[in-house]
Amino acid sequence: MNNNTTNISLVSLLENSLRRWSHRPMGQFTNGDQSYTYHSFGIQVQKVSALLDNNNVSPTGKVAILAENMPNWTVAFFAVTTAGRVAVPILPGSTQFEVENIINHSESEALIVSRKQLPKVSNLQSLKAVILIDDFSLHHPQPTAHSSQVTGHRSQLTGHSSQVTTNRSQITSQTLATIIYTSGTSGNAKGVMLSHGNLYHSVLEARHAQPATCRDRWLSILPMAHAYEMAFGMLYPLSVGAAVYYLREMPTPSILIPAMKKVRPTIICSVPLVAEKLHKAILRRIDESPKLKWIQNHAPWLMFTLIGITLKKQTGGKIKFFGIGGAKLNPEVEEFLKKSHFNYAIGYGTTETAPLITNACVHRTKVGSIGVPAYGVEVSLANVTPKTGIGEIIARGPNVMLGYFKDPDRTASVLSQDGWYHTGDLASRDKFGRFYIKGRLGSMILGPSGENIYPEEIEQVINTFPCVIESLVVKRDKQLVALIQLDETYKAGFNPSDSDKQALLVESIRDYVNKRVGAQSQISSIQLMDQPFKKTATLKIRRYLYQ
């Protein structure tokens, strides 16, 4: 792969893969549907690109993609970007209001959408083309003098060459490839503009962090519309000629574990919540078994050996890289993974940095750390507090975005003239250059004596309580309040009308937490949540909704 990022693009990445791995498997659902080799994938990319041409979508026009994870999602993305157009991925969990707002704000001319997501778009007549991603047929096509032949609702496109053809010879590393709309955990959505070079550099980062080959197998469980999965679950495997497998259903444990045993993946990109649920499930199993509890108390080394064997078996037995990113991993869960000798890795980044900033590779992790700067990325701390050594993480490199779409003021507020991107995340750094996340500038709470309180650190303690799934700490009336989501299994046997039992549980959690945090981080009260927290694509709680 070319390390010169001056004139590279997704076109060169795709052409290289089609040339080298033409007849190798490229992607499919775990049940075998939508199966592609690299050869057939290249043909389909060309067909969909031609369909956009034939429906008069501008050569550099925006095309929204709204669908669940599937092999055809990758086809759609490359059909758009390798022709010089701009992909606008939309998370399938978005509301109708969010979907229509993104389509309008991005000035998308066309929409590639799944049948399941189609009802979220009411104003289809304003689009030049609406293509159903399930089979790439046109939805209510409007024939023009240059349109393709249509039978019923399906366009009849021909072509047998997997050679990527484009008249967009002007595509370079600085050409806009995608606009990803994100609100993070603070709301107020913004369109992050990422170039071909930004995305290509993410592949170089991945290659240096975890080498892979055409014989690797990925299992895709995170939304492809998110920069994390897009970079490391789509672009990277394609760049090495590997195969990616997709689930037709949400990756709940009952779906995910059988899929892993069937696919036997070598690489998975995941988020902390998945690891944390796995951790709690194993702890529950230990608590329910007197034999296992005895082993835990008298031979902990043997217990972790058994856990390691269990983890390996449940993930298919071939995992060499289980990447965890998108949010901070609970140190207790990470210690559990490390002692079990599980092949996990930690990544930290933002959509604005396509997305990787730092990484802790397999067997090079340090509990609590997000690692060292990723390949080719400069990372520093700004406005460091001398007493604590905590400052804001800033990053610079070929991974940093072009800016926010149609929002120069917001761009200028986070991107300095000399290229440093200000993340808004607070961290410290040790003598080995490893970074440790403390919290966000926006969520940091000022204590009564002026001390900085990081709610994320308190939440990590709360989440280790046996029946707690998730929590959020907020400041109300000058006091710290913990909002808590209980485990569904526990809630099933819990009668909300039993006020005494509820009060006892709340007091137990509060005592448990306050014995483990500093005086300035003491919880005053607890509120049990009736509904799950609203979250981002990487399962981070949308904090701003609960302030």
Q: What are 478-536's pLDDT values in tens digits?
A: 889 999 998 876 766 666 566 777 888 899 999 999 998 888 889 999 999 988 898 87
> Do 63 and 102 meet the contact criterion of CB atoms below 8 Å apart?
no
Range among 3-17, 31-45, 510-524 with highest mean pLDDT value: 31-45
Predicted pLDDT at 160: 39
Tens of pLDDT, residues 321-335? 999 998 888 888 999
Predicted pLDDT at 60: 94
Q: Is the pLDDT of residue 169 over 70?
A: no
Predicted pLDDT at 409: 94
Strands of the 435-440 sheet, one edge to the other: 378-385, 390-396, 421-429, 435-440
Alpha-carbon distance of 353 to 492, in angstroms, equals 42
Tens of pLDDT, residues 420-449? 999 999 999 999 999 999 888 878 787 765
Predicted pLDDT at 5: 46
Q: Is the pLDDT of residue 68 over 60?
A: yes
Q: Is the pLDDT of residue 217 over 70?
A: yes
Q: What is the fold, at CATH topology level, of the domain defined by 10-195?
A: Rossmann fold (3.40.50)
Predicted pLDDT at 183: 66
Predicted pLDDT at 162: 46
Tens of pLDDT, residues 268-313? 999 888 888 888 888 888 888 999 889 989 999 999 999 999 889 8
Mean pLDDT score of the chain, rounded to an integer? 88
Confidence of residue 14 (pLDDT cuts 50, 70, 90): very high
Coil, helix or strand at residue 138: strand
Predicted pLDDT at 445: 82
How large is the average pLDDT for residues 204-231?
96
Predicted pLDDT at 448: 66
Predicted pLDDT at 276: 84
pTM over cut 0.85: no
**Which residue intervals of the chain bear CATH 3.30.300.30?**
445-546
Confidence of residue 2 (pLDDT cuts 50, 70, 90): very low
Predicted pLDDT at 497: 64
Tokens of 473: 């700490």
Predicted pLDDT at 157: 42
DSSP 31-84: TS-S-EEHHHHHHHHHHHHHHHHHTT--TT-EEEEE--S-HHHHHHHHHHHTTT
**Which residue intervals of the chain bear CATH 3.40.50.980?**
10-195
Predicted pLDDT at 149: 37
Tens of pLDDT, residues 256-272? 999 999 999 999 999 88
Kindly list the distances between the CA atom of residue 454 and the CA atoms of 253, 445, 472, 474, 523, in Å, as whole numbers in the listed order: 31, 6, 11, 10, 13
- Which one has a higher pLDDT value, 435 or 147? 435
C-alpha closest to that of 226 among 172, 184, 274: 184
Percent residues over pLDDT 90 in the chain: 66
**Which CATH class, in words, describes the domain spanning 271-440?**
alpha beta
Which segment of 287-296, 315-324, 409-418 scores lowest on mean pLDDT? 287-296
Confidence of residue 545 (pLDDT cuts 50, 70, 90): confident
Predicted pLDDT at 98: 87
- Which one has a higher pLDDT value, 167 or 289? 289
Q: Is the pLDDT of residue 151 over 70?
A: no
Kindly list the distances between the CA atom of residue 459 and the CA atoms of 282, 343, 454, 470, 516, in Å, as whole numbers in the listed order: 21, 26, 9, 8, 11
Phi, psi of 265 (to 5 degrees): -65, 150
Alpha-carbon distance of 295 to 274, in angstroms, equals 26
Yes or no: is domain 445-546 CATH 3.30.420.40? no
Which segment of 207-211, 275-279, 459-463, 527-531 scores lowest on mean pLDDT? 275-279
Predicted pLDDT at 279: 84
Q: Is the pLDDT of residue 383 over 80?
A: yes
Confidence of residue 159 (pLDDT cuts 50, 70, 90): very low
Alpha helices in 322-420 (DSSP H): 331-339, 408-414
Predicted pLDDT at 45: 97
Alpha-carbon distance of 406 to 408, in angstroms, equals 6
- Which one has a higher pLDDT value, 154 or 58? 58
